[in-house]
Structure 1
Amino acid sequence: MVNGGSSQGEQDRRDRPRDRATHAPALGVANLNPFGDLNTLQHLSARLARSLRSVFEPVLRREVRAWAEPLRVQRFTDYRAERTDALTAWIPMTMTMGGAPVLLVIDGRFAIELLDLFFGGPGGVPHDTPSEFSPAAEAMLMRLGAMIADPMTAAWEPLASVSFQPGRIESNPSMISGVDTEDPVVITRFGLGHGPGAPVTVDIVYPVAALKPHTPSLTGKVLGKGAALDPAWQNGLARAVMQVTFPVRSVLAEPTMPLARLMDLKQGDVIPISFTSDVPVMVGGDRLGTGTVGTSNGRAAIRLNTINRLHEEESA
C-alpha cells in the first residue's frame, strides 16, 4: 500500500543518526584576544620566570623553582570570581606606553608568609587569615613590587622599551582604577616551588588595552630585533666588566725530584732551582707572555718582554 510504504520510510528517516548542529558565531560578540596565539608574550613570560628566582630566594631564604604557566585570556570579572573573596594583594604596576595598569596579584597567605620570613620568623601563617593587610605587610608588598618591576622591565626589553612602577596596594579589586570588570585581560601565571609543600602562584594580569600599543610586536611569530640599548646601561655594564679581577702569576721554576728525596726533606734543606732570563706570566690558566724578574720601587716585579693575545693563541 502506498500509505503503508510511506509510513515505513518516514520511520527510517527519523531513526537515521544526524550530525550535531553547528552555529556560526553570533554577530556583535567581541574578540577577547586580538593578538592571535600569544607566543611572543608566552616567551616573554618564560624569560621573566627565570628572573623571579633572584627576587624570591633572598626573601624565602631557600632555593626556588620558578616557571611560567600557559597564558589565558578572559574578562576581568571572571578572573576576579575565580579568586573568590580570599585576602589578595592587588598591586597596580603602571606601564609606560600603556593604557590600563598591569596588575601584580599575590595570594594573601603567601604575602603573610613572606612578611614573617622578612622579619626573621619561620614563615608561619595564622589559621584564620585576616581580612586586610597590616601597614607592615603593605610596606613589604610595595618593596616586593619594586623588586619585581626591574625583572619585568628586563624581560620586556627585547620587545619594547617600557618600565613598570608599583602603585598603591589594594585588597579590594573594585577599588582599582583603570580596569573595568568587563575588560578582557591576559593572565600570565608563575609557579613558585620553595620547599616540600605545594607550590604557590603569582599572577601578572595585562589588560588588553595596556598591550594594544605593542600589537605589532606581540603578533609577530618570533621576537624581532631588540630595542635600542640604553647608553647609560651599556656604560655601566662596561665599567662593571672592567672591574673584574684575574689572578696574575709567574712561575720562576718547577724543579722535579724523586719521591724518596721528597720524603726525606726537612727544615733547612735547600732545593736548587734554575731559570732563564724570561719567565712565563700567566693570567688564570692562560699564558699572557714572558718577562724578566727585577725590582720596581723597592719591590719584586716582572718586566713584560712579550705579550701573547689570547685570541691569537686560540686561532693558532
Structure 2
Amino acid sequence: MSDNELLSEEEIQALVEMDQGDEGEAYNLDAEADEYDIASEDSTLTSHLGSLDMINERFARLFRISLKSLLRYQPKIESQPVDVERFSTHMASLTTPISLNVVKIPPLRGSMLIIIDPQLIFNSLDSFFGGAGSHTEISGIRDFTPTEYRIIQMILQRVFQDMKAAWAPLYTVAFEFINSEVNPQFTSIVEENDLVIVNKFNIDMAHDINGSVQVIYPYAAMKPIRELLRNQVIGDSDIDDERIWNNYLKVAIE
C-alpha cells in the first residue's frame, strides 16, 4: 500500500469511535415492508374492462328474453360488476348442488366455466312442464337427473347464443361445450392460484326465487384482446335490435 493510500489520524479515530458507539446513523429505520403478491399484479384489470361490462349488460338483456321460453315469463336479470380473483378462492365460495360447465372459447386459448345456480335449473324444469315455478331445497353434492341435465343443456344453448351475440360488436368468439361437473373440487380450467375474471348475473324469478349464472374467463385467455377490453366505445346503441325483436316474436308464438 502506498503512502498516499494510508488513512490519516483523523480518519482512523473516526473509525474507532464508530466501532465503539452503541448506535450509528442509518436511514429508514422505521420503514415497514409491505408484502407483495406477484400473482396479483394484474388484478387492476378490473379498472380497464369497460367493454366487458357493456358485453355483460347486453347479454343480460338478450338472456332475459331467451329464458322466457323456459320459464314462461320474463325474469329480471342484473349483471354484477366484473371481478378478478384467484380461481381457488372463487371455487371455494360456491355452494352445492351446482352445475359447473367447462366450455372452450375459440379463437381464444383455454377454457371458460359457466356456473348455473340450481334454483334456475329446478324453476325452469317446473315451469317448462306446466308448473308455476317453485323453490326447491336441496343441499350437498348430488348428480342431476337426465331430465335436469336436459334443462341445463337448454339453458347453456341460450347462454352460448346470447353471449356470442353480446360479444359480436367487439370480437367474434365461439362456445364449445366440453363437460359438466357437480363438484367444484373436480372442476378446473386453470391452476389454483391463477386469476380469473368473474361475471355474475343475478336472476329474479317468480315467487321471490333467486338464481344466478356465472361466466368465468381465465385472465390469461383475455390477454390477447386486452386492448379491446380497455375500450368503452361499445354503447347500447350497438345492440342488435333486429335480433332482440326476432326473439320477442319467437317467444310470443311458442
State if a TM-score over 0.5 links the two structures.
Answer: yes
2:110 aligned residue: 100
Residue 144 of structure 1 deviates from its aligned partner by 1.5
**Counterpart-to-counterpart distance in 2, 1:209 and 1:80:** 18
Q: Which residue, 184, 187, 190 being the options, matches 2:201?
A: 190
Distance 1:29 1:181 in 2: 11
- Check the 8 A contact 2:72/2:128 in 1, yes or no: no
**Matched residue count:** 209
Computing the radius of gyration from Cα coordinates, the structure with the larger value is 1
Quote the offset at 1:117 in angstroms: 2.1
Choose the corresponding residue for 1:210, options 216, 221, 226: 221
Q: TM-score, normalised by structure 1?
A: 0.59
- Whether the 8 Å CA contact 2:103–2:179 is kept in 1: the answer is no
Residue 54 of structure 2 is matched in structure 1 by: 43
1:41 Cα deviation after fit: 0.8
Q: Alignment identity in percent?
A: 26
User: Paired residue for 1:90, among 95, 100, 108?
Assistant: 100
Q: CA deviation at 1:122?
A: 3.2
Which residue of 95, 115, 133 maps to 2:125?
A: 115
Residues 176 and 98 (structure 1), Cα distance of their counterparts in 2 relative to 1, 3 Å cut: farther
| Paired position in structure 2 for 1:70 | 81
1:161 Cα shift? 1.2
CA distance in 1, matches of 2:78, 2:134: 24
TM-score, normalising length: structure 2: 0.72
8 Å CA contact 2:164–2:174 kept in 1: the answer is yes
Offset of 1:152 from its aligned partner?
0.5
SS in structure 2 at match of 1:99: coil
1:271 paired residue number: none
SS at match of 1:206: strand
CA distance in 2, matches of 1:68, 1:219: 19
**Further displaced range: 171-180 or 58-67:** 171-180
Contact 1:72 1:187 in 2 (8 A): yes
Q: Determine helix, strand or coil for the equivalent of 1:51.
A: helix
Residues 120, 167 of structure 1: CA spacing in aligned structure 2 closer, same or farther, 3 A cutoff?
farther
Name the structure 2 match of 1:180.
Answer: 191
Which ranges in structure 2 are unaligned for 5 or more consecutive residues? Answer: 1-30, 236-242, 247-254
2:23 counterpart of 1:26: no
What is aligned with 1:5?
A: none
Change beyond 3 A, Cα 1:175–1:219:
same
Closer, same or farther: CA 70–161 of 1 in aligned 2, 3 Å: same
How far apart are the structure 2 equivalents of 1:165 and 1:155?
Answer: 16
> Could you list the per-position Cα deviations for residues 171-203 of structure 1 after superposition, in whole angstroms to 9, with x for gaps in the alignment?
123333532222211111112222240432211
List per-residue Cα deviations over 1:134-157 (Å, max 9, x = no partner): 122112211211121011111111
CA distance 1:26–1:201, shift in 2 (3 Å): same
Q: Does 1:220 align with 2:231?
A: yes
Which is richer in helix? Answer: 2
**Which runs of 5 or more structure 1 residues have no equivalent in the other structure?**
1-20, 225-236, 241-316
Measured against aligned partners, the alpha-carbon deviations of 1:107-146 in whole angstroms (never above 9, x if no partner) come to 1233122222222233345434472211221122112111
Alpha-carbon separation, structure 1, partners of 2:39 and 2:188 = 25
RMSD of aligned Cα (Å): 2.9
Greater RCO, 1 or 2 (C-alpha within 8 Å, sep 6+):
2
Equivalent residue of 1:169, what SS?
strand
| Alpha-carbon shift at residue 57 of structure 1 (Å) | 1.3
SS at match of 2:156: helix
Following superposition of structure 1 onto structure 2, how do residues 142-291 of structure 1 map, counting pairs within 5 Å?
A: 142-223=153-234
